[in-house]
Structure 1
Amino acid sequence: MTVFARFSILYLVFAIVTTVVLYGFSFGHLTKIGFLATDLIKYMGAGPWVLWLSPILIYYVVGHPARISEALYGFVATIALVCGYTLMKGIIPVLVPYWADGMFAQFDFALHGGVAPWELSHRLSVYIDTDGAVRTYSGFWGAFAFSFPAFLALSDQDSIRKARFLALYALAWIVIGNVLATVFSSLGPIYFDRYYGGDTFAPMIASLKDLTFPGTSVDALQTRLWEGLTRDDGMQTGGAAISAFPSMHVAVATVWAVYMTERSWFFAPVAIGFAVTILFLSVYTGWHYAVDGYASIVCVLMLYAALRQVIKK
């Protein structure tokens, strides 16, 4: 865990230096970084997700108090890693202007029998509660996304497996969330028309309104990110970062699914079901093209296969 913590802190330093080089040194920029870290600490340490995961974490804390210090390392490392990831995500349009949305929209259409995936997902809206969907996609996902290293520290005694999955977790954020996202710079369906013009996704926007998404936390975040992008002329700082491909929501959910599948076939169906749910909701809410999620799943599995060969008993 200490290696994971050092790596995460070094990546945060790298991200800070990179953004300072691009934006120039200013106390305003460094202040935004400080607020970003503070917001992450508040969310991870005092957010409502703690209530959802607390029984699991308390169970392991009580049973294995000696592992608490390692879990704290994991907590600090996660803050550093996600801060670094967010800062690097924010410079994507500066390095590579958004370009890939049209290609992904066409891929989606071709892969789903000439029908847009969002339309297929909205056909199931009669079975889906909007508040529950938002809570799952934002809240429950955040609970599992940010607790993974601490959960490993508290619950897993297999040092090789812990090392492998900490590496997978870190690589998912960096390789999938930063490197590939920069190469295939894209905004996602919800921003397509506003950025490129036209009315390609106007029916989706109208359908989301019918589903009463306006006013939800997902809608509020989508609006805030767009305002941040337009206000800063593409230099997304302080956590205001837009990137669609690949989907980090699906990537992290897949990391959990792979971990639970390796560790316990009893819990594997639940973890896999959660990953599939996040994939579905990523399309349902307008955040992502379906191929964003598909690519994330493939990338996580490829990284996992490689790490199985590198980090093994």
Structure 2
Amino acid sequence: MTDISLAFHRLPMILRGAAQIVRRDSALYLCIVIYTLAGLVFLNAIGATDLAAYSIYFGRWTFLNCLILPTFAILIDLLVIVRRFDSRRRLAAGRIFSTSRLAYSASGLCLLMALMIFQGTFTSVKNGMPVWQGGFPFDVAQANIDAFLHFGADPWRWLYAVAENDLVRTVVEWNYNVFWFLLNFGALFFVATSPMAASVRTRYLACFMAVWIIVGNVLAALFLSAGPAFYGAVTGDVARFGEQLAFLAHGAASRNSAVTYQQYLWSLHEARQAGFASGISAFPSVHVGLAMLNALFLREYDRRLGALAFLYVVFVAVSSVYLAWHYAIDGYVSAAVTLVVYAIARKLIPADPRPALDMQTATVNRPEAVVTAS
């Protein structure tokens, strides 16, 4: 019997294991429900129910988490099997198709689909924040604080003094608009679906949601700003960031152009429409917050990888200023808030136990048992 056929033979046990993990995730599901209800109440209270964005995410989120990322995971698994010596390939295959692995995959996909609703709530609330605030009242103050902290000049001027280059812009745009998403949502998929991340699963997912809510909704709504890209539109001062935006316009024809996406967001804002990943807010930066979160967790696994991840956090923060998405303080505050969220979670959320089903299937996962079954 092959490893795949063994997996189907153990389907009832896999489903029981998945149900066990789903029950353990009940607090996470409850948080999603409460957050969604709070978001709907908020939209209703400000008369912005037309800005709800739930249906927009269904197709893309399902495609990403039920097809693209699982395909990558399968390809990586196959690569692991192929690279093993013959005597160890059955062991690798046995682990990949183990009851624990498949149970985590099934329960993880359930949670990821629930997070689709979470993401819809985030975007819906973000769409409604300018309605609640009556615009973007904090851009001037935040830009002035930014300049004060950086020796009297807007930080983008320091960056452009050494890196005003179309090749640099292209690399930075690709990282910010493509690679960052692959890293962060790939990390989410891995933690949600792999038993290798079992010990940190609940804590990571709780922190993941907390960063989106606290950084991207609560603080963003309280201190709502549009960011340098929209500074002229919301303050009337088109000169302050005009040179920066003129340079970024060089890449308007690029597939990953920051300017193109910024125009897309502003057009939706002006038309009062919801769209995929719509909504405008600068302070604090969710991009930096999630990069910081992953760096903190990666440091638990390996300090050297963690150090590289923290360098990536700096790169993301610098990129956010370079591309006119954020003021520099947006990244500083986001990193600090994320660190606090992480520290609190380490105190309050214990390590997840490995499911008991591992013990029940230990003999199945041994290479000699697989050989016998064959």
| TM-score bucket of the superposed structures, by smaller chain | 0.7 to 0.9
Residue 76 (structure 1) aligns with: 113
Mean CA deviation greater in 61-70 or 216-225: 61-70
CA contact (8 A) 2:57 2:116 kept: no
Aligned-partner residue type, residue 80 of structure 1: I
Aligned-partner residue type, residue 77 of structure 1: A
**Does residue 89 of the first structure (1) align with residue 126 of the second (2)?**
yes
* Cα distance between partner residues in 2 of 1:6 and 1:57: 32
* Cα distance between partner residues in 1 of 2:311 and 2:259: 25
Residue 35 (structure 1) aligns with: 56
Superimposed CA distance per residue, residues 73-116 of structure 1 (whole angstroms, 9 cap, x where no aligned partner)? 33213312211111111111111231111111111111112221
* Cα distance between partner residues in 2 of 1:279 and 1:52: 28
Counterparts of 1:48-87 in structure 2 under 5 Å? 64-87=101-124
SS of alignment partner, residue 267 of structure 2: helix
Residue 17 (structure 2) aligns with: none
CA contact (8 A) 2:191 2:198 kept: no
CA drift at 1:2: 4.2
**Does residue 11 of the first structure (1) align with residue 35 of the second (2)?**
yes
Change (3 A) 1:33 1:159: closer
5+ long unaligned stretches in structure 1: none
The runs of at least 4 aligned residues of structure 1 exceeding 6 Å deviation read 49-54, 57-60
Residue 306 (structure 1) aligns with: 344
Mean CA deviation greater in 55-64 or 199-208: 55-64
Aligned-partner residue type, residue 139 of structure 1: V
TM-score norm. by structure 2 comes to: 0.72
CA contact (8 A) 1:33 1:238 kept: no
* Cα distance between partner residues in 2 of 1:53 and 1:109: 45
Mean CA deviation greater in 13-22 or 168-177: 13-22
Residue 47 (structure 2) aligns with: 23
Partner residue of 1:295 out of 333, 344, 349: 333
* Cα distance between partner residues in 2 of 1:230 and 1:170: 29
What's the C-alpha RMSD, in Å, of the aligned pairs? 2.8
Residue 204 (structure 1) aligns with: 244
Residue 187 (structure 1) aligns with: 226
SS of alignment partner, residue 251 of structure 2: coil
Superimposed CA distance per residue, residues 159-204 of structure 1 (whole angstroms, 9 cap, x where no aligned partner)? 5522222111110000111000000000000000112102221121
CA contact (8 A) 1:78 1:146 kept: no
CA drift at 1:127: 8.7
CA drift at 1:155: 3.9
Number of equivalences: 304
Aligned-partner residue type, residue 262 of structure 2: Q
CA contact (8 A) 2:112 2:192 kept: no
Larger Rg: 2
CA drift at 1:284: 0.8
Mean CA deviation greater in 290-299 or 133-142: 133-142
Residue 15 (structure 2) aligns with: none
SS of alignment partner, residue 105 of structure 1: helix
SS of alignment partner, residue 200 of structure 1: coil
Residue 369 (structure 2) aligns with: none
CA contact (8 A) 2:54 2:121 kept: no
Superimposed CA distance per residue, residues 3-40 of structure 1 (whole angstroms, 9 cap, x where no aligned partner)? 32342244234323432443366xx666x531244344
* Cα distance between partner residues in 1 of 2:70 and 2:229: 29
CA drift at 1:66: 3.3
Residue 89 (structure 2) aligns with: none
* Cα distance between partner residues in 1 of 2:253 and 2:37: 36
Counterparts of 1:88-167 in structure 2 under 5 Å? 88-96=125-133, 97-122=135-160, 123-126=162-165, 128-155=167-194, 157=196, 159=198, 161-167=200-206
* Cα distance between partner residues in 1 of 2:306 and 2:247: 34
CA drift at 1:265: 1.7
Change (3 A) 1:45 1:270: farther
* Cα distance between partner residues in 2 of 1:254 and 1:165: 12
* Cα distance between partner residues in 2 of 1:153 and 1:309: 21
SS of alignment partner, residue 218 of structure 2: helix
CA drift at 1:62: 5.6
CA contact (8 A) 1:121 1:284 kept: yes
Identity of aligned residues (%): 25
CA contact (8 A) 2:136 2:225 kept: yes
TM-score norm. by structure 1 comes to: 0.85
Residue 170 (structure 1) aligns with: 209
CA drift at 1:45: 5.0
Mean CA deviation greater in 115-124 or 2-11: 2-11
CA drift at 1:214: 1.8
CA drift at 1:254: 0.7
